[in-house]
Structures are given as structure tokens and as C-alpha cells.
Amino acid sequence: MAQSFDICIRGAGVVGRTLALLLARERLSVALVANPAGPATGSDVRAYALNAASRSLLEGLRTWPDAHHATPVARMEVAGDQDGRVVFDAATQGTDALAWIVDVPALEARLQDAVRFQPLVEMVTEPVAAPLTVVCEGRASRTREEFGAQFDVTPYPHHAIATRLECEHPHGQVARQWFAPDGSILAFLPLDGPQGHGVAVVWSVQPALAQELQALDDESFAHRLLAASQGTLGALRTRGARVTWPLQYAQARHWCGALAGQQGASWALAGDAAHNVHPLTGQGLNLGLGDVQALAQVLAQRETWRSTGDLRLLRRYERQRKTALLPMGLTTDGLQRLFSLPQPPWQLLRNWGMLGFDRSGPLKEWMARQAMGTR
């Protein structure tokens, strides 16, 4: 007799595996569809900024990486394209860290181990029938299209380039960001623990420049980064592949719905399959983990007579997460657009605004706590 499942999760990345573990903790049986094997692309350079809420969630699942792979950010420095400057400091916020820069391969390994030893989660190679199918396949999800979920996309006139560097000087637990007059945004995120010299790089540039930078050899590329970062960390050496992708702001019109041809069965979206934001605030994975935590909570608190595929339940989840996404989505989109305007009046306005915000006191503290997930 074929095994039956309460939930099928399509997508076994960080968001999908976290959801599987949360649901199994609630005694729900989960089929987790393994990601298709992709072509080898060299070293994995992904790193994400995770806030206190995400850390608490992952620690509760015993999947938080070790100290070498989760570097605390004690300070964040943001430089405008003139004299604008904003500084966030963990000590001022009364905390040890504003965020943690997490090595994604290390986090995925911890999640894979946890799933392997969770008897209520079964890895499968193909989707299986279940009252609820949750799509966690990322921004390029094919299942989202298969289910007829409309995905409204607004492309940005930039591509992101991600890589890793070894720096002459230690990063000092400081996350750094530079806005340039041409609208490009460069971020250095500290890696390898508090005393580390490594940084993860995310560089948002115009597509033509992205193509030009990708064609450079490692030494020339490092030299361009040295100039863009104003020599802050001294000599730079690349230590990973360069990956590029187009940036966009996107959101599904509906995050849940009925599965056609399957009575009583439904689907829901989570993570990048539901929404995409600009990486300049580093909130993408935090939003995705917030999605699965909210979905798991809604399912755990359901009335005993409700199925996991009950659309009333899923609409509660959708309303909750759309409300949570709105302020962060508007903030990142607004900042990106403001810093993309090259005209001198806009340049003056945004740098004046940065200086004013840095001195704003309660507003700055409120924004910091929103990003930190402590509210």
C-alpha cells in the first residue's frame, strides 16, 4: 500500500527543508521533493544575512551553523554617492549582533542532516499526492506556472554579481555597503568568524557592466572591486566563482489556491517562489523563513476537523505574510529606485536624506529593529 502524506513540498533548498522540519515537529508527514541535479558550477559562493528571528528559528531546529560559518555583524556602514552616510551599531541597539552572515553550503549541510534523521520526512524524486502542496522552488519555479499562479515581475535595470574575496585587512565584523553615482550598489559581508579576512560580495550593476566585469580575469576583477570599495580592506584576492543574475521585484498575486482536478487538495507558495526583493537590505531569506514559520504555525493551530489543504487556513497564511512583506518590499524597491536616479538634485536629496536618517534617533532605531527581526 502506497504511503500517504499530509503535505508535499516541492523544493529542497533552505526554505523547503526548514518547512519540512517544522511540519514534522507538529507530527505531520511530509514528502520532500529533491531538487533536480544541476550542472556543476564550481564553488558555491552564496551567503545570506540572517536576523535574530531566523537564527532563533534555526536554533530551535538544531540546524544553526557553527561560529566559523555564521559571522556576527557588529556594525553596518552604508556610504552614499556623495557625503551621505548611515551607520548601525549593535552596541547601540543593546545586542551582540545586528545580523549573522551565514555560509549557505554549511547551513544546507546542517538541514540535510536534520532531514535525514527525521522519520516523518521522506525524500522523494517526484511529486506525490497530498492535501497540500507547498512550492519552495525559488524565483524560477516551474510548479508555480503549472498551478496557474500569476507572478507579477518588475525587472530592475541591474544584474547582481556574487563572489567571495580574501582581504588584506580583517573585516572587523563590519558589513559595508557603497552606493555609486551610476546606481550600482556594492556590499561586502563578513565571513569566516569574528577575526576573519573573508567577505561575501554582492555587486548590483547595469547589465552591460556586469557582462564586462564577468569577462575580466580574477586579478583585474579584484582591482575593480578595490576601487569600488575605496580600498577599505586593503588588497583583495578572489577566492570563488563569480555568479550573476538579473534583479527584479516580484510577487505572486495569490499565494494559495485549489489544485485543479484534485478535490480537497490545495497549493501554497513560500520563499522566492512567492516574492522577490532587491538584495540591498539582505532580507530575502529572512522573508522566506518567516513564510514557512507562519505557514507551519497556521497548520499546527488548525481545528482538528480541518485538512492541511483547507483554503481558509491557507488564506490566513497569505494575509499574514503579504502584510509582513509590504513594508520591506516598499523600502527596498524605493531605495533602489532613488539611488538609480543620476540627476544632481536627486543625488543631493538622497545623500541629505541619509545624513538626516542617521541622526533621526527613534526612526533609525525602529528601522534597525525591523531588519533585525526583534521589533
Cα dihedral 282, 283, 285, 287, rounded to 10, equals 180
Q: Global pTM?
A: 0.88
Would you say residue 166 lies in a domain? no
Contacts 24+ apart (CB under 8 A), 138-144: 138/11, 138/13, 138/271, 138/272, 138/273, 139/248, 139/250, 139/272, 139/273, 139/276, 141/10, 141/11, 141/269, 141/272, 141/273, 143/10, 143/267, 143/273, 144/252, 144/269, 144/273
pLDDT digits (tens, 9 = 90+) for 51-82: 999 999 999 999 999 999 999 999 998 887 66
Would you say residue 239 lies in a domain? no
**pLDDT attached to residue 359:** 58
CA distance 241 to 373: 31
Would you say residue 162 lies in a domain? no
Would you say residue 212 lies in a domain? no
The residues facing 269 across adjacent strands are 135
Would you say residue 198 lies in a domain? no
Would you say residue 161 lies in a domain? no
CATH code for the domain of 26: 3.50.50.60
**pLDDT attached to residue 333:** 57
- What letters, b where the CB count within 10 A reaches 16 and e where it falls short, cover 122-141? eebeeeeebbbbbbbbbbeb
CA distance 215 to 209: 10
Q: Which domain holds residue 79?
A: 7-154+247-372
pLDDT along the chain (375 residues), means of 10: 84 97 97 75 84 96 97 89 73 87 96 97 96 95 94 92 97 93 90 96 95 97 96 96 93 94 92 88 87 97 92 95 75 57 54 54 56 57
Number of domains comprising the chain: 1
The residues facing 321 across adjacent strands are none
Would you say residue 144 lies in a domain? yes
- Asked whether the CA dihedral 95, 361, 187, 237 is positive or negative, the reply is negative
Residue 326: other Cβ atoms inside 10 A: 11
